[in-house]
Structure 1
């Protein structure tokens, strides 16, 4: 069977860069995007593959349970045809700025939680349970140091809902890691990781903030570092920075 990476949230930014580098390194990729017809850069990337079947593009709206289930079913079908899901990266997320606790509406808060917490966890749940005889090696959630409660950054004005959604994600993925370990058997070999990608210059980060963002990096530098960390780290339930530093929640 051919080892395959599943990247959810692959149409732009960090997710797109994951697909680019993985294809460049010879891997097979199943890329999940909210709207395939609007994933122009991903479709162009696939068009340059000498063997297009190495990049499968499927719809996955992380805020829609039915869409998540259909995506998981298609990943399962691909596995039956000879692709082995080795690693899963849950990258889909949203940042609607500002999202202050003293100002945001119920729907605005709910959108951050649905997109950044609930959707990624449910999607990972569906994918990890596809094949009890061959669960994935690693499940990686793209989190953020904005969700750190230990190192709370009170200068990040307007990141209330975003930070809360990432903090909730970190807690849930730790439960997922512990539950898989308790299942025993091959499940206990699945490693669940959280990753802080750094202050990456992407479309989502293209907002006018009221403070200086230090240490900004490009998506290629972030993903190169994260791929190295993903390969090296095997402490399930742990939280790492893109450059290999242990990140505290």
Structure 2
């Protein structure tokens, strides 16, 4: 994240953004605000917080629209899982780095040293704020090139990569009604060198499912996968990764 004296402004900044997002915002002040952290708000300038609120909704709408078109046979549950991952803080922060938006963030010098979750959140916020700025200037069609450039390949990656069943089940359950899956060891059999665990998983409002494996983790994964398949979130051929 750069300091005040090192950032492009005006037409130069608009051109940089065009290279990143594929849209030339006409209102330079709007771009400035989308890149400004609240740490410099005391200098009499607006920050990105309100834009971030709007951009989060615009991003969700456009990604959901893309998912519906790309996966016409996917269930609502599968679409929700994909959407949650694609609009997550982690995904947005990655895109801030990949696109070069991180270099344009306007913040006090103390923020340049941020690491971990705080740094990730600032970067994610700026991506959402910039989406809002483009939307306000050019509508949904103005934002689409940015979405297509950075999110489409992530949709492709998620299509090809197998999912980890416990993580997928937790994401789906939380999206469904805010619940968290509960796992119970029903049985442990076999010798110590070759045990067999039977584990059940329950989600409020649904019948539990069970799974078996040579470790508690593997049995939990099998139980989670069984529930996802039964509820139509995963097709029957999906397998979890170890």
TMscore range, shorter length: under 0.3
Structure with greater proportional strand content: 1
| Structure showing greater Rg | 2
Structure with greater proportional helix content: 2
> TM-score, length-normalised on structure 1?
0.24
> TM-score, length-normalised on structure 2?
0.24
